[in-house]
Amino acid sequence: MEGQEETAVDLRTARLVLVTPDGALVGRLPPIPVEIPWWQEVEPIVRAARERYGIDATILRLLETARDRAPGGEVTYLAEIAEPVSAEAWPGKIEAHPLRQAYAEPGGPSTDLDWAVRVLAEHSLAPTAKPVQYRTWNLSSVWRIPIGDQSAWLKVVPPFLAHEGRVITALAGSHVPTLYGHDENGRVLIAEIPGDDLYEATLEQLLGMVTLLVEIQASWIDRVEELRAMRLPDWRGRSLCSEIAEVVQRTSAELSEEERATLHRFVQDLPALFDEVYASGLPDTLVHGDCHPGNFRGAGQELTLLDWGDSGIGHPLLDQSAFLDAVPLNYRQAIKDHWSREWLARIPGCDPARAATLLTPIAMARRAVIYQRFLDNIEPSERIYHRDDPAGWLRDTAALLAKSDWMQR
């Protein structure tokens, strides 16, 4: 952020509506200023509630926001406490919803932590301090569990991302997190990964990330049936054509007439476009789905690729455009050239550069598909995180198509 004005805009004020483990409403605490503006980051809220009011609160979910989009502003959360405390009246109502995640209900986080403790015990380990809640929102609940001078990380995700544990298990030994355990309820417990989150990676590290990803993807060529058995989303040609067409139709009212026309032509052209993509010689394999530098952790060239809940089956270069969006402009050509060399070394005669170019608008439209999937599977109060994303990505897709020669191909 630059300047005091932008900092002021991004200030967050948390209001906690308190309930006991049985779900009984206690009331609401006064506003709590929070230094981190991102709504899903709850560790500073938990810390502030302890320092200001002497209570140990567990944030369950977002209830309402003063703004129509993140970050900052006044945000009201539902929080669980062990016993009632003095609090002001809250005029709202707590209602059930069929799409609510178990970790967003009273008692849900403690159930997840109990599971983690049992898994650690299977490895002759035990927590040495109170677990720390870091994040909760519609896509995950994240806790750090101290175990001596290290930590275990508990991540719990909704059913539509629950293949993450299966994927990490299948990739063991391939620069992915070390699992203590996972289950079919979307829980994964991973060992601490040394180093830093690599949002600010060097060019050398970025090239190493590409090599790592390509190595993993190349090892899964001709193993699509194994990926399907892990119940990964299918983004292969025919399936993704259908899903893009559906999200364009569902989002049409939010688009301009010109955008609708451009995307209609794009949808009509998709089967032929995919034929060209596959003619470049690269087959379907494992797609990470959210491969950007911040999802790598490490130091130097010791890299670990995280966050496999967004993974699926499709063309490997679906991962390229999101990665390039997150790196400095002056690095992009070197990264693209390296990406092509890595694939040419494994599949001589293929044309990765052409495939990547053809896939750029497809990969962008796939993001609209992903966010629509999120919206379809999360409760209304938490849709605000992603509400505008399907239309936003389709607008970006239309803009890319309009300023290129796609319609004249």
| Mean per-residue pLDDT of the chain | 94
CB-based burial label for 47 (10 Å; 0-12, 13-18, 19+): middle
Together in a domain, 345 and 404: yes
Rg (CA), the chain: 23
Together in a domain, 70 and 133: no
Together in a domain, 357 and 210: yes
Q: Strands of 296-299's sheet, edge to edge?
A: 196-197, 296-299, 302-305
Residues 272, 404: Cα–Cα separation, whole Å: 17
Together in a domain, 257 and 397: yes
Kindly report, residue by residue over 82-93, the tens digit of the pLDDT. 999 999 999 999
Residues 153, 304: Cα–Cα separation, whole Å: 15
What is the DSSP-derived secondary structure letter of residue 12?
Answer: E
Give the end of a domain, one of 22, 55, 84. 84
Together in a domain, 225 and 350: yes
Question: How many structural domains does the chain have?
Answer: 3
Give the end of a domain, one of 191, 211, 239. 191
The pTM (predicted TM-score) of the whole model is 0.93
**Is there a domain that residue 93 lies in?**
no
In three-state secondary structure terms, 136 is: strand
**Is there a domain that residue 96 lies in?**
no
CATH number, domain of 48, equals 3.90.79.10
Together in a domain, 277 and 314: yes
In three-state secondary structure terms, 379 is: coil
Residues 288, 307: Cα–Cα separation, whole Å: 8
Q: Are 209 and 303 in contact (CB under 8 A)?
A: yes
**pLDDT at residue 7 greater than cutoff 50:** no
**pLDDT at residue 407 greater than cutoff 90:** no
Residue 164 lies in domain: 104-191
- Both structure tokens of 218: 């190349």
Together in a domain, 325 and 230: yes
Together in a domain, 179 and 209: no
Q: Are 363 and 274 in contact (CB under 8 A)?
A: no
**pLDDT at residue 1 greater than cutoff 60:** no
Q: Are 128 and 139 in contact (CB under 8 A)?
A: no
